[in-house]
Structure 1
Amino acid sequence: MIFKRCIILTAFLTFSLNVAFAQVSLQNLRTELLQEPLGIDILKPKLSWEIHSAQRDVKQTAYHVLVASSVDKLTEKDADVWNSGLVNSAASVYNQYGGQALKSKNKYYWKVKVTTTKGDSEWSKTASWSMGLLNYKDWEGRWIGFDRFFPWDSLSEGRLSARYFRKEFTTEKTVASATAYIMGMGLYELYVDGKKIGDQVLAPAPTDYTKNINYNALDITEHLKQGKHAIGVVLGNGRFFAMRQAKPYKVKTFGFPKLLLQVIIKYTDGSTLSIKTDHTWKGTADGPILANNEYDGEIYDARKEFKGWAEPGFKEDKWLTAEYVQEPGGTYQAQMNEQMKVMKNIAPVSITKRDNGRYIIDFGQNFAGWVKFNVKGQAGTKVSIKFAESLEPNGELFRTNLRDAKATDTYILKGGGLETWAPRFTYQGFRYVELSGYPGVPQKSDFTGCLVYDDMKTIGTFESSNTLLNQIFKNSWWGIASNYKGMPVDCPQRNERQPWLGDRTVGAYGESFLFDNTAMYKKWLQDIRCAQKEDGAIPDVAPTFWRYYSDNVTWPATLLMVSDMLYKQTGDLAVLQENYPAVKKWMAYMKGRYMNAEGIITKDSYGDWCAPPVTAEDGKGVIADQKHPSALIATAYYYHLTTMMIRYSTLTGNGGDLAGYTELASDLKKAFNRKFYNAQRYYGDKLTDNLLPVYFGLTDDVEKVKVLKHIEYIIVEKNKRHLSTGVIGTQFLMRTLTENGRADLAYQIASQKTYPSWGYMIENGATAIWELWNGNTAAPKMNSQNHVMMLGDLLIWYYENLAGIKAAEPGYKEIIMKPELIKGLDAVNASYNSVHGLIKSNWTKSAKDFKWKITVPANTIARISIPAKSVAQIKESGQRITANVKGVKFIQMEGSRAVLELGSGDYSFVAEL
């Protein structure tokens, strides 16, 4: 099956999936692309733009798009690819291209102008995208590699050396453009004349290579003058050559590293030259990267470097002829999600000397990436760096929680001067490193921590009067960033690092307020669809690097719930349409196998995974890897998914399914309450078991009041205003309380510093988010200190309830702004860069007034709810609202709040209290 996706150009971040973004300003028009999207394989891309204006209440009424094959032809008269004409539409995002068929390897230029309620814009600056190799036959070369071990490799130790390949060629004419299309499995670095191309690392993004393979397109025009040249490629193992192969029934491996590359060179006279992988290439595995393994680290012997190996004229007589090898089997596709990059450099905060010439370096922050360092010494000197998240009480590295991951980089000096090194094909999760074998006395200036994650922009900010909430937010940012690796992984440090579905079911929604993660999560949904079995089964991990198909509801629910999140946050209906059939198939699979005669879904695997022990001491030394299957959780979740399918069946053009899902939901609700409801509570006395029915709407109004009282009893009386939820319950905890009038109780839970709480983690030294509530006492086998699954819906609550930034319509075309006013919280200042533009909410309250600064992006409206006894007590920029303030419309009073409708613009409100 071939999966096709669309392209985004963006003026404020690297390209994301499904849209091309321009930026239009009604005063100073501009389109600024930070990175030109290359090698796109989408036949009908969708185009979007952002409108900027200092005026209020700006709404688009029409647009006009031009697309041409050259800049010179990008005029209304000459546009030879598409001239949309004036389209009467308010849509500024996800407008589908409607021009001529796009052709393989061609570059296209486009611009847009808009008509608004405040006048017409000028044409935006020119933006562009280029098409990739759209057809299998466009790939002229063959896969090359060495499908075997070399004497220095060791399968039992997971050691496989890097492969190096090179090819020389000559450009006979002046080069107009040159693009390299590359599939380097599992990871690659591309060089032209000795210079690395691009700043991406750990490329390409991982997939199940038997299903789909990402290729990257890289512009190498500036590197090719007329004359002789050389191409060099280094291949690392990545997820292709599995790190652990002792359990073939569990771990999927794809073979030895291999390469397919094609360079298309266009000369100024219109002729072309194609360089492709074939038998004329040379290769070797006898290079400086002796071993590279994501779990264990990298071993690099600088004495074995080949000087000038990727430059023309290198003596390659000792290299081997590249061998033809089998292709991996998956469909070739352009990588549409962002590449990983070194996104931040981190300086050490201290270096502490230990015995035997060892040093402990503290970077002050738990993160994922590697260490780059400078060193000078004799040839053959071996420097070792071991990684860990924390220290033992005696000051040594605590590494037990890494399981059998060696997490060690080794560098062997070549001697003769200052050497600088960082690994290429591995990463680790750490705060501390142990340095051994280092010649001389290490200085902090010689070491840099490199934070590595997908090149996506941080689009959300949050700060409040509560310093603990602020620190939790910072820890969350670090944890989320650390675990973006071309897919969302559970942890970056131990011998796992897997894309577990259950960790992100709701968490992805909260993450979307911090990062523009749209492209990555659309890619991940494709990974899940690729992993679905013919009978409908969906795995617990996708891509299925681990073959886990445990048949439960809560983990596979991620496919629909992340689709739902992306639709809410972006307004892109296509994501629902694309994933609906797979969800429908899986829903039928689960119903047919695991719904009993009572109408209950009986199959669950994990229950409320990692619910906290009653006390931290109760969990001391206890392994958290314990499953407590729950038919209540499975049935409640299945009901919730059924109600979502009711909403989306008609919306996605599947109206024929509506009656069936409606009847199923009704039957499930009756069966659930018959089975699990008991007087005033559900089932036992667990918080999660009572939260889910309330949030999912399984409880009728009369019983809902009783269940809510029981929830309050559990939290207040039993838990002393703490949570007691695991992964499942924490996903709905804060919103259930807030939406039912107990935002104060949610705030008390979020503000706790004692066990179990997010604050407890911080009080015990956490700089990210722990995997376990009792991460300081639990057995180390499953005890990551950089996990995000326990964030639940906390970040959603931060933005939607504390800041008051919530989508009333998908994509924030309409915005609801209703911050919760909670005793003890006196200020919140947050921002979120939506697909339509920047939304800001900055409020403070005192005994006498409520001040609120708001930014509403162009082409949207916001309905705000501001505390006030009457509308007469509200001023905007010093004017009474009753004075017909521009952009502000009074709707009604709702209790002690005034509801106003705002057009786009900046506003400053003061309400007397």
Structure 2
Amino acid sequence: MKKFFLHTTFIIITLISFSAKAQNKISITNLQCEMLNNPEGIDVVQPRLSWQIQSDINDVRQTGYQIIVASTLENLNLDKADLWNSGKVESNESVHIIYKGKRLENRQNAFWKVIVYTNKGEIKSGNESHFSMGILNYADWKSTRWIGYEKASAGDSISQYSKLSARYLRKEINLKKQIKNAKVYIMGMGLYELYINGNKIGDQVLAPVPTDYTKNVKYNVFDVTSELKEGKNMLGTILGNGRFFTMRQDYKPYKIKTFGYPKMALQLFVEYTDGSKEIIRTDDTWKITTNGPILSNNEYDGEEYDARKEMKNWNMINFDDKKWLAAEYVQEPGGFYEAQMTPNMKIMGEVKPISIKQTPKGTYILDMGQNMVGWLQLKVKGKSGEKITLKFAESLQADGSLYIENLRDARTTDVYTLKGEGEEIWEPTFIFHGFRFVEVSGYTAKPTVDNFVGKVVYDDIKTIGTFESSDATMNQIFKNAYWGIRGNYKGMPIDCPQRNERQPWLGDRTTGAYGESFLFDNQTLYAKWLDDIKNAQTADGGIPDVAPAFWRYYGDNVTWPGTYITVADMLYQQFGDKKVIEKHYPSMKKWVVYMEQNYLVKDLMTKDKYGDWCVPPESLELIHSKDSARTTNGELIASAFYYHLLQKMKKFATINGTNPEDIKYYDSLSGRIKMAFNAKFFNAGKNNYANNTVTANLLPLAFGMVPENLEAKVFDAIIHEVEVTYKGHISTGVIGTQFLMRTLSEYGRPDLSYKLASNDTYPSWGYMAKNGATTIWELWNGNTADPKMNSQNHVMLLGDLLIWYYENIAGIKSNPETPGFKEIIMKPDFETGLTFVNASYESIYGTIKSNWKKSKNNLQWIITIPANTVAKVYLPATNASDIVLNDKKLNQTEISYQTENNKQVLTLPSGSYAIRVKR
């Protein structure tokens, strides 16, 4: 890779517009309802509509819009807005426009389009968009009964290592008229597969998303018009266990929540061409069996499948189900029924193994080349009754065998029993694994890598960010983060995908969710997770460390439950989502008051549970540091973080226009905490905090708690610790690392941030990569620490690294005053030591690009700003006369600019530009 260097001295900047190449095209794309790509069956009665303006010319600004919503496509094509015609609205807003038309009823279809008025003319959306309402009232499910089989079958085990066979259900129906349209509404607990006339409905897997089923139950909706025909039809489902029939039964019931046996409620709503309607519901006329090929499906332990027990054509009409049982009416889960407003999981990619090697004991070790999350598809030929066993792990021992001690009691094993009919292809249905290596046994002929394909499984959300730089270590870390984040999206953000945990820990995403939002379109995922947290809140205000509360961890602390507030702030900052703040503000305030009333003593927050979790220990064999000099006072952490959250609550109260008394409350409380905090922890003679750990100094500096005019001295203390005490390495844990990289850059040491990001010696992210990691470890020393806690696929230690990649290095940041990237701040740290960065981010307005490189004599920067946005672009030039814009000097153009800290700050309209900085 060729390297470029920039020498300091006099700089001339040339800004070249690409508009000369433009074809003058403007279009409206990406019409979305509630930011969903496929909004079937939503239950928001006033949904929000959004669109993007795409253009290959510069300076395109929306000045107004008109939204037309109709009940049929025919009406829409005739511009007959029988649901809503907004009329022309003078506005530059193009996201989260609230529907204000006629009341939307149960199962209501809505077709819509938009006319956009811009400074370049009027544009009509080329394609209509569609959304439909779900079942809005609980009462509309009343005659739909939950059915299932409420007992174990022969071969099942209700124990610590639960083993429960899948439930197969079927129902033949007769549709006597010509069908106009039809939809299925299904709640299949814990997981389901749906079939009509033998065809699987949808491409989702492991559906629906998990919740605390005693609080809320998600239903999925499918348009199945094309799958049905007049006459006989067959409805079939398979029910797996998921989080409903919990992985561990009769084991630590005080900790682990379980919900019962798998069950289902379903409606098939059919509208005929003559206008009549019919609803087919689950009842005791359905047939059920547990005697199918899926003998067991346990997320921790794996899936067992006996192909000899396959029931040919069980999901087709005229199948003989006389030996099947009548489905039982069973108790409903208890939670309120809700439309699922976030995507299901899908098979999002494939990984081909890179090698397979035979072991001395005759088994084979398959190497996928990448720590991944999903499952393995196999191909095999053999005799009936032969078994193929697949054992999954993340790494190998020195002798080449699987390293499984870090999996704890998760058995992570799939078993396939052959039917003996030629080549057989199989993959599991209701489980997933976190793995790179697989021990394969049972093949009679020597298998090759061509016998296997890895299926990558996570939520069906779009990758929206790219990043590459001149530093190979940073690039590998980014790739590792990408693989780790997506593997841990499982309808909720989980901590790890491999051992007997896989829980949605709040503290792992306090700031992590913010960084993740630059890589993945995670808006609906995290909006759903906020609902999970709200539903887990106790009546008196407490919030658990895990939500949904599959584990009962109500320990009361600040840093983990505070994620409820920081994730809402992220959704507002990155996606302009004001609704989550309005919705959750009362519950957030309830928690703030709860913590104050129970744990605030002398204006300091006394309750902390985890400290600065996972500080790099002084010995490579330790899990936690035993050196007190590395440990940050828990009361300091809790008090500083609570102060930080109070600032966000004040911001939320302002956004909501809440009673001014709330703002006064936050101001008064935070003022008292700041005074008490500095009185107890600030060392005036040394200008540092407590025992001078980086985290102890970093939190008050990042949160604005340091006494006036002493910020630089506290920052000096941080620099001394990083550079001298820890020799340019990380010394922070989960809490401190959330603010480390940005604070170093913002106080003038981006070079030190870069050093931390590019290190490959312990402790660092690069150390993980250098030692073979292809995801992010749970521990800084995850290759040497005691195996009780060294998951090799966690994301909690990323801290604010990814935010720093985009905001501080690429220069892609949303102005907090105009959330959602309506105004973009493009202010890269050019002087880190990197020689090029090429990044992109697809915001809700469109794609932002930043591509800069330095050579001996030049800095070149190519940027793209989406239509209907503007960017503040910071250029390293002292004088405006050093800048040429579109072959004109800057002062001869209409571009707005100003001088700020020896930089020229241009306010650029949308478009593509090239910047060249010469000596």
1:361-760 to 2 correspondences below 5 Å? 361-596=366-601, 598-617=602-621, 630-654=634-658, 655-679=660-684, 680-760=687-767
Counterpart Cα distance in 2 of 1:663 and 1:359 = 65
Bigger Cα displacement from structure 2, 218-227 vs 310-319 = 218-227
2:811, 2:827 within 8 Å by CA — same for their partners in 1? yes
1:804-883 to structure 2, matched below 5 A, reads: 804-808=811-815, 809-876=818-885, 879-883=888-892
Amino acid at match of 1:199: D
Tell me the SS of whatever aligns to 2:710. helix
Taking the aligned partners of 1:619 and 1:335, their CA distance within structure 2 comes to 39
Of the three residues 248, 252, 269, the one matched with 1:244 is: 248
1:172 counterpart = 2:176: yes
Residue 18 (structure 1) aligns with: none
The corresponding residue for 2:118 is 116
Residues 666 and 340 of structure 1: CA distance in aligned 2, closer, same or farther (over 3 Å): same
Q: Are the counterparts in 1 of residues 574 and 819 from structure 2 also a CA contact under 8 Å?
A: yes
Equivalent position SS for 1:671: helix
CA displacement, residues 877-899 of structure 1 (integer Å, 9 cap, x when unaligned): 55543442xxx724122244211
Question: Per the alignment, in what secondary structure is the counterpart of residue 820 of structure 2?
Answer: helix
Please list the CA deviations of residues 364-403 of structure 1 after superposition, one character each: whole Å capped at 9, or x if unmatched. Answer: 0001100011111100000000000000000000000000
Query: CA separation in 2, counterparts of 1:323 and 1:643?
Result: 53
Number of the residue aligned with 2:73: 71
* Structure 2 partner of 1:901: 907
The letter for the 1-side match of 2:431 is T
Alpha-carbon offset, residue 747 of structure 1? 0.8
The match for 1:207 is 211
Give the 3 Å change call, closer, same or farther, for CA 769–623 of structure 1 in structure 2: farther
Instruction: Return the alpha-carbon distance in structure 2 between the equivalents of residues 735 and 621 of structure 1.
Output: 25
Q: State the SS of the aligned residue for 1:377.
A: coil
Maintained 8 Å contact 1:872/1:882 = yes
SS at match of 1:527: helix
8 Å contact from structure 2 (residues 688, 717) kept in 1: yes
* Residues 605 and 628 in structure 1, CA contact (< 8 A), matched pair in contact too: no
Do the aligned partners of 2:495 and 2:795 also contact (CA within 8 Å) in 1?
yes
Secondary structure in structure 2 of the residue aligned to 1:812: coil
% identical aligned pairs: 55
Indicate the SS of the match to 1:859: strand
Query: Are residues 416 and 585 of structure 1, via their aligned partners in 2, closer, same or farther at CA, if it must alter by over 3 Å?
Result: same
Distance (Å, rounded) in 2 between the aligned partners of 1:380 and 1:72: 57
Give per-residue Cα distances to partners, 1:518-550, cap 9 Å, x unaligned.
000000000000000000000000000000001
Deviation at 1:618, TM superposition (A): 5.6
Q: 1:390 & 1:668 partners in 2: Cα distance?
A: 47
Distance 1:861 1:620, change over 3 A: closer
Amino acid at match of 1:844: K
Counterpart in 1 of 2:63?
Answer: 61
Choose the corresponding residue for 1:136, options 127, 135, 138: 138
1:151 aligns with 2:160: no
Equivalent in the alignment of 1:19:
none
How many angstroms apart in 1 are the aligned matches of 2:631 and 2:331? 41
Matches within 5 A, 1:186-205: 186-205=190-209
CA offset digits 1:5-58 (Å, max 9, x no partner): xxxxxxxxxxxxxxxxxxxx9645556789532111110001111011222111
Measure the CA separation in 2 of the matches of 1:414 and 1:507. 46
SS at match of 2:831: coil
Give the Cα–Cα distance (whole angstroms) in 1 for the partners of residues 627 and 743 of structure 2.
30
Structure 1: distance between partners of 2:829 and 2:843: 21
CA distance in 2, matches of 1:678, 1:796: 31
Q: Does 1:89 align with 2:96?
A: no
**Letter aligned with residue 147 of structure 2:** I
Unpaired segments ≥5 residues, structure 1: 1-24
1:742 is displaced (CA, Å) by: 1.0
Distance 1:610 1:243, change over 3 A: same
Q: Give distance in 1, aligned partners of 2:548 and 2:751.
A: 40
* TM-score normalised by the chain length of structure 1: 0.95
**CA-CA distance at 1:75 after TM superposition:** 5.3
1:452-502 C-alpha deviation (Å, 9 max, x unpaired): 000000000101111111111000000000100000000000000000000
Uncovered stretches (5+) of structure 2, i.e. residues with no partner: 1-23
Task: Name the aligned partner's letter for residue 724 of structure 1.
Answer: S
| Larger RCO (CA under 8 A, 6+ residues apart) | 2
Partner of 1:10: none
Instruction: Give me the whole-angstrom Cα distance separating, in 1, the residues matched to 2:336 and 2:596.
Output: 31
C-alpha deviation, 1:612, in angstroms? 0.7
TM-score normalized with structure 2 length: 0.94
Aligned counterparts of 2:225 and 2:861: Cα–Cα separation in 1? 51
Contact 2:873–2:905 (CA under 8 A) maintained in structure 1: yes
SS at match of 1:40: coil
Shift of 1:620: 10
SS class of match (2:639): helix
What is the CA distance between 1:416 and its match in structure 2?
A: 1.4
Letter in 2 for 1:906: S
For residues 324 and 78 of structure 2, the distance between their equivalents in structure 1, rounded to whole angstroms, comes to: 56
Query: What is aligned with 2:52?
Result: 50
- Of 340, 351, 354, the match for 2:356: 351
- Return the match for 2:128 from 126, 129, 135: 126
Letter matched to residue 67 of structure 2: V
Change (3 A) 1:214 1:619: closer
Say whether the 8 Å CA contact 1:876–1:910 is kept in structure 2.
no
Between 641-650 and 827-836, the greater mean CA deviation after superposition? 641-650
Q: Which residue pairs with 2:777 in the alignment?
A: 770
Deviates further, 465-474 or 652-661: 652-661
- 1:687-727 C-alpha deviation (Å, 9 max, x unpaired): 11111010001102332222111101100100000010110
Q: Which amino acid aligns with 2:812?
A: I
Instruction: Give the 3-state SS of the residue equivalent to 1:811 in structure 2.
Output: coil
Distance 1:56 1:800 in 2: 23
Query: What amino acid is the match of 2:903?
Result: R
Which residue pairs with 2:8 in the alignment? none
Shift of 1:619: 5.5
Alpha-carbon distance in structure 1 between the residues aligned to 2:31 and 2:860: 35
Which residue of structure 2 aligns with residue 13 of structure 1? none
The equivalent of 2:895 in structure 1 is 889
**Contact map agreement 1:874 1:909 (CA 8 A) in 2:** no
The letter of the residue matching 1:727 is V
Give the distance between the partners of 1:519 and 1:895, measured in 2 at CA: 39
